[in-house]
């Protein structure tokens, strides 16, 4: 492993490096990833699509009920050495920015300044009618106050904490129909977390910012991603087309693994601090 890290350091040293990160960067903070080392999705069944969220009040009841149970643990997650390593690389002038697929805000909490969030951030919700935003913590308080009985009946029914602040609830004990969804305080419109759902497009300005970052990079470092999601894989392909050096830190082989010049296998929270020492 030392050899791969030496090679990675040699690849990145004296270059304008951009990092592209995924769920693997945050697993050591206690937030599960989607796929794991095998590349297989951990959760079977089909993920909630944007159209299903806006088109069905039952789907919104289910989404927000599970989110209300899962949120406190997600919100307690703190940056780990992988986030801190990337933030230090930036502050020492060895990284120009981070493009992340994560929605947990942990790069910014660790001190990263230039961060493009490809899929948004769960710390906010947005009204689909008047576009007003509200902090997710404030919404949590409103949901809990509105659903006191539901909460006390279901607080302990989470069987698994899932990737995006969602929680798997015991189907035997759970009746989503009795959960009351909370609406926008200003106009009564539908609230949606400020993240890109499956079946929803990434806003154009975000895509352009990410693409410009890749165009300005002299090397790309991918950390903790399966690159299974099209938007991140396209950024890897863009970097490969520019023929800049490509480095990987990951536990498992991502899509496009053959494109990387150096592949350092292992946990990001261990490898990033070691890489930093070598730069």
**CB nearer ligand NAD, residue 72 or residue 189:** 72
| From 107, 119, 154, 270, active-site residue | 119
Question: To the nearest whole angstrom, how small is the minimum distance from the Cβ of residue 28 to ligand NAD?
Answer: 5
Q: Give yes or no: 119 in active site.
A: yes
Question: To the nearest whole angstrom, how small is the minimum distance from the Cβ of residue 123 to ligand NAD?
Answer: 11
Tokens representing 199 are 């079946």
Question: To the nearest whole angstrom, how small is the minimum distance from the Cβ of residue 4 to ligand NAD?
Answer: 13
Ramachandran class of 79: left when φ > 0, alpha when ψ lies in -120 to 50, beta otherwise: beta
**CB nearer ligand NAD, residue 108 or residue 226:** 226
Question: To the nearest whole angstrom, how small is the minimum distance from the Cβ of residue 20 to ligand NAD?
Answer: 9
**CB nearer ligand NAD, residue 219 or residue 248:** 248
Decide: 262 and 247 in contact? Cβ < 8 Å.
Answer: yes
Decide: 177 and 113 in contact? Cβ < 8 Å.
Answer: no
**CB nearer ligand NAD, residue 95 or residue 163:** 163
Q: How far apart are CA 125 and CA 57, in angstroms?
A: 17
Neighbour tally for 122: CB within 10 Å: 21
In the complex, the residues that contact ligand NAD under the rule CB under 6 A are: 22-24, 26-28, 31, 33-37, 101-104, 119, 163-164, 224-229, 250-252, 254, 267-269
Write down the H helix ranges in the chain.
2-12, 50-55, 57-76, 81-91, 106-110, 136-146, 148-154, 204-215, 230-241, 268-278
Q: In terms of residues, how long is the chain?
A: 279
Decide: 165 and 102 in contact? Cβ < 8 Å.
Answer: no
Q: Which residues are catalytic?
A: 119
């Amino acid at each position: 492993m030392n050899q791969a890290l030496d090679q990675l350091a040699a690849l990145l040293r004296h270059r304008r490096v951009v990092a592209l990160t995924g769920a693997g960067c945050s697993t050591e903070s206690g937030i599960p990833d989607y796929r794991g080392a095998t590349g297989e999705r951990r959760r079977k069944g089909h993920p909630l699509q944007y159209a299903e969220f806006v088109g069905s009040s039952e789907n919104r009841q289910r989404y927000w009920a599970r989110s209300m149970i899962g949120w406190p643990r997600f919100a307690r997650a703190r940056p780990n050495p992988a986030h801190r390593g990337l933030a230090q690389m930036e502050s020492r002038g060895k990284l120009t920015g981070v493009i992340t697929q994560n929605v947990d805000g942990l790069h910014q909490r660790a001190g990263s300044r230039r961060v493009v969030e490809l899929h948004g951030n769960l710390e906010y919700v947005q009204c689909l009618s008047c576009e007003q935003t509200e902090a997710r913590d404030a919404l949590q308080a409103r949901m809990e106050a509105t659903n006191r009985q539901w909460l006390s009946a279901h607080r302990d029914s989470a069987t698994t904490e899932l990737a995006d602040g969602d929680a798997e609830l015991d189907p035997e004990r759970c009746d989503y129909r009795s959960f009351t969804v909370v609406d926008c305080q200003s106009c009564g419109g539908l609230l949606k977390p400020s993240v890109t759902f499956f079946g929803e497009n990434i806003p154009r300005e975000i895509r352009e910012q990410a693409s410009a970052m890749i165009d300005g990079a002299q090397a790309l470092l991918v950390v903790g991603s399966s690159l299974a999601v099209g938007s991140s894989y396209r950024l890897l392909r863009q970097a490969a087309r520019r023929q800049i050096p490509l480095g990987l830190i990951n536990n498992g082989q991502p899509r496009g693994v053959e494109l990387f010049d150096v592949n350092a296998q292992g946990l990001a929270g261990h490898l990033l601090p070691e890489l930093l020492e070598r730069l």
